């Protein structure tokens, strides 16, 4: 029985995790497939320096990816390089050479996945990207096949493990953002340059991919309103707790009357919901379907082996297609063709809000702020002030009933210029729909 | 473009839920597939009495299922009848007539799924059963494709919504089992004859299917040690809470040194774990993989539309295969052929245990019980007694360190004959691995 042959490009953490699983789990993989999945060639910048599993000691190594994508025996190219420059060339060249592609590359698939899929269809090859979002959670298989019959109404994700680790650590030990970030960097949970994680760009790419899959529209990262977590402080968790909530960086995609609304932003979510129980470097996705109602998926968001499982599972699926010799296959975006997306600004939407202020205390502050809100027709739900001994930097919170975000932003713009403000007010939506 | 045609047999809740989704969601389904999925004929015992969606008003109806399985235009038969008698005939006849089969039938697939799959392979048709376990959770797609590259080490499920509803209600309001069961029956969460649910047979069938999928062995319900929930009382939840745990009917499949150990039984699970947060009629599955680590899946376990989503998603998957005209496909059990399963008795395994007694109080009880345990080399972890004013029926709890279950059962057998016992001791494992 003919085996299917794989070329692996990129021997970083994910590449080595993938090879380890392919080596150690080879017998079970063959039992499931009914044929062998073999590694024909591996490629990395300095391939001699890499320690491969014994089973692959004799597999040819190269530092020239072109040798992999043009290799006459390679059926599937696994692009595990990341980024949008060389990786893009690799994927395009693989497709041009009639190779199917498995990729773990969220940036590339978020930016250009729909175009790449169009080329894959034209070339009659397959494209798979389970590893690109939420490594250990098979959310692509779920949306593409498991619940494909449903009509998704909303999807909420915790998709960045670094941010979730930082948020739950601030919550757990009450330390400042900067302190927790430094500790996360020391432990390897955050990069030396953490901005892609903590400013939301990583989560945004992941949401672009999942929203395209769930809603069948062509979404790129620029379509998504994005705020990072730098301004979240321990006091916000104290107030959130008093309000029966916690705070997470929530990636949200939901159908509104106007269309699909997309955002990545720190948000208050009710304690006691299953999404609020996601701790540390875990990822989770909450899906609300018109028919299937609520489903929830949870697992490791990253790591060589959880992500490696996603790559290997994709390799198995694509290998089956190749053995079958059939060009028809399930789109990695669940829809054969994606529709055009017309972004809906979050400002047009209504939400309950949490506003946190730091002020120099003096009489009349609430009256002033209340007037600014009332002038725009915004109703206050509650005013909270936890005990504090600082008159010069006094934190307190106002929560708002459901209000249009544009009006809230106008009010905030006016408030920030008031002379008693120590810093700009912080606003977060309160997710009551979960 | 040729459409794929479906015949639906069984117009109960699941059949009607399926038809509603096929009608209302037709446009999106066609967008995903690139072709139409049409309903060619429906069958039920009294088809004229059923109210079908407008879109299917003119679809031919019959009360003779043979007309569906032999219908020359039907490509896929959806068997939504349930049970193991007529349903078995329907599935066999459909396969014999070259029709692919989508089924929601847990009893049939648990009892004879492997044999049915063998016939499906021989006939070159496809067989799909997402709806057979945990209706709204796409756990089949997850195990079959999403994490197929992993090696599963353990799987824990909450697979019976009736039991979970009863357990969480006892926990929430402290009412007795009988009282909560009666309320569940009144609300439609439990059947008039509730034994298949509360004695564990329903959960056992579901575990048989999931364990076969996850571990690649041919497992039938008789292979699974099963205990129901009739003996759980409010006092057990009080003690569990004191121990930092809660109680759920846990379906467990785990690899041990001896092999795969299977059980369905009420168990103590730590509070704060995500499995402990599953409330009411929801289902959940916790999977531990050698490489992907822990993943968790949650959703509605039953209901016309959540289960209908599973049926429709299967119909879409099978329809794609038919359009492709290819006999090769992914086994519904993830493995092309299942290995033989050699049951491992739970008695051979070690676990921590919770033992709850009801006794006529008098001095020396702990000494007597402690001696019986010590004689078998079993170590006590803790003895707990919550305040009680009944000297004649005093509940208390002993927890045991990890002990071989065979020894614990011997001890219990001896204890139940003691004259101070008001009723047989109740033993539950404490799941520390979660």
> What pLDDT, in 10s, does the model give residues A262-286?
999 999 999 988 899 899 999 999 9
Could B306 and A323 be called an inter-chain contact, meaning their C-beta atoms sit closer than 8 Å?
no
pLDDT value of residue B226: 98
Identify all chain B residues contacting A28, using CB atoms and an 8 Å cutoff: 151, 216
For the entire predicted model, the pTM comes to 0.95
Identify all chain B residues contacting A295, using CB atoms and an 8 Å cutoff: 136-138, 297-300
Interface membership of A330 toward B (CB under 8 Å): yes
- Please, is A59 exposed, middle or buried when counting C-beta atoms within 10 Å of its C-beta (0-12, 13-18, 19+)? middle
Could B313 and A33 be called an inter-chain contact, meaning their C-beta atoms sit closer than 8 Å?
no
Q: Which of A136, A316, A323 sits opposite B148 (nearest CB)?
A: A316
Residues 145-184 on A with a CB inside 8 Å of B are 145-151
Nearest CA in chain A to B272: A277
What tokens were used for B166? 């009863």
B261 or A389, which is more confident: B261
Selection from B321, B416, B381 nearest residue B127 by Cα: B321
Question: Which residue ranges does chain A devote to CATH 3.30.70.260?
Answer: 346-430
Identify all chain B residues contacting A298, using CB atoms and an 8 Å cutoff: 274, 294-298
pLDDT value of residue B337: 86
Strand extents, DSSP E, B278-421: 282-289, 293-300, 339-340, 350-359, 380-384, 394-404
Could B308 and A334 be called an inter-chain contact, meaning their C-beta atoms sit closer than 8 Å?
no
Contact call for residues A305 and A183 (beta carbons, < 8 A): no
Find residue A426's DSSP bridge partners: A356
Could A29 and B298 be called an inter-chain contact, meaning their C-beta atoms sit closer than 8 Å?
no
Place of tokens 């089956």: A320
pLDDT value of residue A434: 73
Question: Which residue ranges does chain A devote to CATH 3.40.50.720?
Answer: 4-135+304-334
Could A299 and B299 be called an inter-chain contact, meaning their C-beta atoms sit closer than 8 Å?
no
B60 confidence band (pLDDT: 50, 70, 90): very high
- For the segment B151-173, the average pLDDT, to the nearest whole number, is 97
Interface membership of A315 toward B (CB under 8 Å): yes
Interface membership of A130 toward B (CB under 8 Å): yes
> What sign does the CA torsion over A129, A150, B314, A297 have?
positive
Could A138 and B147 be called an inter-chain contact, meaning their C-beta atoms sit closer than 8 Å?
yes
Could A324 and B326 be called an inter-chain contact, meaning their C-beta atoms sit closer than 8 Å?
yes
Q: Return phi, psi of residue B389, to 5°.
A: -105, 5
Strand extents, DSSP E, A68-174: 76-79, 100-103, 127-128, 152-158
> What sign does the CA torsion over B162, B166, B168, B173 have?
positive
Long-range contacts of A372-381 (CB under 8 A, 24+ apart): A372/A411, A372/A414, A372/A415, A373/A398, A373/A400, A373/A411, A375/A411, A376/A407, A376/A408, A376/A410, A376/A411, A377/A403, A377/A407, A378/A403, A378/A407, A378/A408, A378/A411, A379/A403, A381/A352
Q: Give the residue from A33, A36, A148 with the most B CB atoms within 10 Å of its CB, the best one to mutate.
A: A148
With respect to CATH, is domain A4-135+304-334 assigned 3.20.20.70? Answer: no
Catalytic residues of B: 206
Could B336 and A33 be called an inter-chain contact, meaning their C-beta atoms sit closer than 8 Å?
yes
pLDDT value of residue B336: 84
As a whole number of angstroms, the distance between CA A422 and CA A177 comes to 18
Could A298 and B32 be called an inter-chain contact, meaning their C-beta atoms sit closer than 8 Å?
no
When the pLDDT of each residue in chain B is averaged and rounded to a whole number, the result is 95
The C-alpha R_g of chain A, in whole angstroms, comes to 24
3-state secondary structure B191-228: CCCCHHHHCCHHHHHHHHHHHHHHHCEECCHHHCEECC
> A34 to chain B nearest CA, in Å?
7
Catalytic residue among A32, A206, A300, A350: A206
> How is domain A139-300 classified at the CATH fold level?
Dihydrodipicolinate Reductase; domain 2 (3.30.360)
- For the segment B197-226, the average pLDDT, to the nearest whole number, is 97
Q: Which of A141, A151, A293 sits opposite B142 (nearest CB)?
A: A141
Q: Give the residue from A136, A295, A320 with the most B CB atoms within 10 Å of its CB, the best one to mutate.
A: A295
- Please, is A365 exposed, middle or buried when counting C-beta atoms within 10 Å of its C-beta (0-12, 13-18, 19+)? middle
Q: Give the residue from A309, A311, A325, A326 with the most B CB atoms within 10 Å of its CB, the best one to mutate.
A: A309
Contact call for residues A268 and A247 (beta carbons, < 8 A): yes
Selection from A90, A108, A73, A110 nearest residue A10 by Cα: A90
As a whole number of angstroms, the distance between CA B262 and CA B155 comes to 10
The string over A261-300, giving b where at least 16 C-beta atoms fall within 10 Å of a residue's C-beta and e elsewhere, is: bbbbbbbbbbeebbbbbbeebbbbbbbbbbbbbbbbbbbb
> B304 to chain A nearest CA, in Å?
9
Interface membership of A140 toward B (CB under 8 Å): yes
Residues 37-96 on A with a CB inside 8 Å of B are none
As a whole number of angstroms, the distance between CA A296 and CA A142 comes to 10
Question: Which residue ranges does chain A devote to CATH 3.30.360.10?
Answer: 139-300
> B160 to chain A nearest CA, in Å?
16
Say if residue B351's pLDDT is above 80: yes
pLDDT value of residue A327: 59
Find residue B428's DSSP bridge partners: B354
Could B146 and A136 be called an inter-chain contact, meaning their C-beta atoms sit closer than 8 Å?
no
DSSP summary character for residue A276: G
Strand B225-226 with B394-404, pairing? unpaired
Identify all chain A residues contacting B310, using CB atoms and an 8 Å cutoff: 147, 149, 292
Interface membership of A118 toward B (CB under 8 Å): no
Q: Which residues of chain A have pLDDT under 50?
A: none
pLDDT value of residue B327: 58
> A375 to chain B nearest CA, in Å?
43
Q: Tally the residues of chain B.
A: 434
Label residue B86 left, alpha or beta by phi (over 0 means left) and psi (-120 to 50 means alpha).
Answer: alpha
> What sign does the CA torsion over A42, A46, A48, A53 have?
negative
As a whole number of angstroms, the distance between CA B149 and CA A6 comes to 15
Question: Any idea which of A188-192, B218-222, B241-245, B374-378 has the lowest mean pLDDT?
Answer: A188-192
As a whole number of angstroms, the distance between CA A309 and CA B146 comes to 9
What tokens were used for B364? 């020396």
Encode pLDDT of B309-343 as tens digits: 999 999 999 999 898 876 567 899 999 889 999 99
Say if residue B389's pLDDT is above 90: no
With respect to CATH, is domain B4-136+304-335 assigned 3.40.50.720? Answer: yes
> How is domain A346-430 classified at the CATH fold level?
Alpha-Beta Plaits (3.30.70)
B168 confidence band (pLDDT: 50, 70, 90): very high
pLDDT value of residue A406: 98
> A310 to chain B nearest CA, in Å?
6
As a whole number of angstroms, the distance between CA A57 and CA A43 comes to 13
Q: Which of B28, B146, B326 sits opposite A138 (nearest CB)?
A: B146
Q: Which of B151, B274, B294 sits opposite A28 (nearest CB)?
A: B151
CATH number of B348-430: 3.30.70.260
How much of chain B exceeds pLDDT 70, in percent?
Answer: 99
pLDDT value of residue B325: 78
- Please, is A115 exposed, middle or buried when counting C-beta atoms within 10 Å of its C-beta (0-12, 13-18, 19+)? exposed
Nearest CA in chain B to A139: B146
* ipTM confidence score: 0.94
Question: Which residue ranges does chain B devote to CATH 3.40.50.720?
Answer: 4-136+304-335
Helix-helix angle B304-324:B13-24, to 10 degrees: 60
Q: Return phi, psi of residue A252, to 5°.
A: -120, 135
Nearest CA in chain A to B140: A146
Selection from B124, B125, B94, B122 nearest residue B108 by Cα: B94
> A163 to chain B nearest CA, in Å?
19
- For the segment B193-200, the average pLDDT, to the nearest whole number, is 97
pLDDT value of residue B62: 97
Identify all chain A residues contacting B313, using CB atoms and an 8 Å cutoff: 145-150
As a whole number of angstroms, the distance between CA A227 and CA A163 comes to 12
Give Cα A359 to chain centroid, integer Å: 35
Task: Give, for B119, the enclosing helix (H) or strand (E).
Answer: helix B106-123
pLDDT value of residue A328: 63
Could A313 and B145 be called an inter-chain contact, meaning their C-beta atoms sit closer than 8 Å?
yes
> How many CB pairs (< 8 A) connect A and B?
199
Nearest CA in chain B to A213: B32
Could B309 and A334 be called an inter-chain contact, meaning their C-beta atoms sit closer than 8 Å?
no
Interface membership of B317 toward A (CB under 8 Å): yes
Encode pLDDT of A150-183 as tens digits: 999 999 999 999 999 999 999 999 999 999 999 9
Interface membership of B297 toward A (CB under 8 Å): yes
> B307 to chain A nearest CA, in Å?
7
DSSP summary character for residue B421: B
């Amino acid at each position: 029985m003919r085996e299917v042959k794989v070329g692996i490009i990129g021997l970083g953490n994910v590449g080595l995790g993938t090879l380890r699983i392919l080596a150690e789990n080879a017998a079970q993989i063959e039992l499931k497939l009914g044929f062998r999945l073999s590694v024909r060639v591996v490629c990395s910048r300095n391939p001699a320096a890499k320690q491969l599993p014994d089973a692959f000691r004799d597999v040819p190594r190269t530092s020239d990816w072109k040798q992999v994508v043009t290799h006459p025996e390679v059926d599937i190219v696994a692009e595990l390089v990341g980024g949008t420059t060389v990786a893009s060339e690799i994927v395009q060249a693989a497709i041009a050479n009639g190779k199917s592609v498995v990729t773990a590359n969220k940036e590339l698939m978020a930016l250009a996945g729909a175009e790449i899929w169009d080329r894959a269809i034209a070339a009659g090859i397959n494209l798979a990207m389970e590893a690109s979002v939420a490594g250990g959670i098979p959310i692509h298989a779920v949306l593409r096949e498991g619940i494909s019959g449903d009509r998704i109404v909303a999807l909420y994700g915790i998709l960045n493990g670094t941010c979730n680790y930082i948020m739950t650590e601030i919550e757990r030990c009450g330390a400042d953002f900067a302190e927790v970030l430094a500790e996360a960097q020391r432990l390897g949970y955050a990069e030396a340059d953490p901005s892609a994680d903590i400013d939301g760009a990583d989560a945004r790419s992941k949401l672009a991919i999942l929203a395209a899959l769930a809603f069948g529209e062509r979404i790129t990262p620029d379509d998504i309103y994005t705020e990072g977590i730098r301004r979240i402080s321990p006091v916000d968790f104290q107030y959130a707790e008093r309000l029966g909530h916690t705070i997470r960086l929530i990636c949200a995609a939901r159908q509104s009357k106007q269309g699909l609304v997309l955002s990545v932003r720190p948000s208050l979510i009710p304690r006691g919901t299953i999404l609020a129980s996601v701790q540390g470097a875990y990822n989770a996705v909450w899906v609300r379907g018109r028919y299937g109602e609520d489903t929830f998926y949870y697992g490791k968001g990253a790591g060589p082996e959880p992500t490696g499982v996603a790559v290997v599972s994709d390799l198995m699926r694509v290998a089956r297609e190749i053995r079958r010799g059939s060009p028809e296959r399930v789109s990695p975006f669940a829809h054969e063709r994606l529709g055009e997306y017309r972004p809906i600004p979050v400002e047009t939407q209504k939400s309950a809000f949490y506003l946190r202020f730091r002020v120099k205390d003096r009489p009349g502050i609430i009256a002033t702020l209340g007037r600014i809100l009332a002038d725009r027709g915004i109703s206050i739900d509650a005013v909270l002030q936890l005990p504090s001994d600082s008159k010069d930097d006094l934190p307190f919170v106002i929560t708002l009933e459901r209000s249009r975000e544009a009006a809230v932003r106008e009010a905030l713009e006016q408030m920030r210029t008031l002379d008693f403000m120590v810093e700009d007010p912080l606003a977060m939506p309160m997710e009551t729909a979960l």
